[in-house]
């Protein structure tokens, strides 16, 4: 879950496990095509999903060539100061934070995606360097968000409880992108930190 309030974000990951035969829980397929089971309560309630106006695929892509990530670019609306990306194989634009890619020169584009623990691979896992506890997207790497190209200028990891108060993360700065996912742990325990990757638009 991503909790946002006046520039406040806390991102929590899906916990996944192999689907048992005959299981009645909801299942999804991860980046490897494997069926995984979500912990109860990790998805938004139906009425919240309706208000979020979720699109899992807008027809655009989120591409980070240096880490081999190329996924659909979805979109959602923050509802009641909460954002919970409903899928694990898409990146999601946040409509009501910053700007959208078509206005990238005017402000910050915010993108969120899930990484997972416990046996699944989400889009956000490609961004995480488990061995070093940081970003796999190094400074200078290129990311493409809906056709807008950015150069990564830095990254940070923060305890989820600290992210809400970081005004630097939520600044609406022209030509900037902020990508947020959970920073998973090598031992597979639930993530307690967020990975925040920042980039700036490359002039055409």
pLDDT of residue 6: 30
CB 130 within 8 A of CB 184: yes
Collapsing DSSP to helix, strand or coil, 32 comes out as coil
Collapsing DSSP to helix, strand or coil, 83 comes out as strand
Closest CA to 52 of 136, 112, 101: 112
Give the whole-angstrom CA distance, residue 136 versus residue 138.
6
Structure tokens at 77: 């609306």
pLDDT of residue 19: 35
Q: Give, for 28, the enclosing helix (H) or strand (E).
A: strand 27-29
For the chain, what is the radius of gyration of the CA atoms? 16
Q: How many CB atoms sit inside 10 A of residue 74's CB?
A: 23
Q: Which domains does the chain have, with CATH numbers?
A: 2-201 (2.40.260.10)
User: pLDDT, tens digit, for every residue of 148-203?
Assistant: 999 999 999 999 888 878 899 999 999 999 999 988 888 877 788 999 999 999 98
Number of H helices, E strands in the chain: 2, 17
Low-confidence ranges of the chain (pLDDT < 50): 1, 3-25
Give the whole-angstrom CA distance, residue 157 versus residue 201.
22
Question: CB-side exposure of 143: number of CA atoms within 13 Å?
Answer: 28
pLDDT of residue 81: 75
Pairing of strands 91-94, 108-112: antiparallel
pLDDT of residue 41: 56
Instruction: Provide the whole-model pTM.
Output: 0.87
pLDDT of residue 76: 93
User: What does the DSSP 8-state code read for residue 101?
Assistant: G
């Amino acid at each position: 879950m991503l909790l946002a309030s006046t520039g406040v974000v806390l991102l929590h990951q899906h916990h996944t496990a192999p689907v048992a035969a005959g299981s009645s829980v909801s299942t999804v397929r991860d980046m490897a095509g494997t069926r995984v089971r979500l912990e109860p309560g990790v998805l938004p309630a139906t009425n919240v999903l309706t208000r979020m106006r979720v699109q899992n695929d807008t027809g655009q892509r989120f591409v980070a060539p240096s880490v081999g990530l190329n996924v659909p670019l979805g979109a959602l609306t923050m509802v009641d100061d909460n954002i919970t990306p409903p899928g694990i194989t898409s990146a999601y634009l946040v409509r009501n934070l910053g700007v959208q890619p078509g206005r990238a020169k005017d402000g910050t584009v915010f993108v969120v995606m899930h990484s997972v623990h416990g046996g699944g691979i989400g889009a956000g896992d490609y961004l995480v360097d488990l061995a070093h506890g940081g970003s796999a997207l190094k400074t200078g790497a290129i990311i493409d968000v809906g056709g807008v190209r950015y150069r990564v200028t830095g990254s940070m990891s923060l305890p989820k409880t600290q992210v809400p108060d970081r005004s630097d993360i939520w600044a609406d700065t022209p030509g900037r992108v902020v990508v947020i996912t959970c920073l998973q742990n090598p031992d597979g325990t639930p993530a307690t930190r967020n990975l925040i990757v920042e980039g700036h638009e490359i002039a055409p």
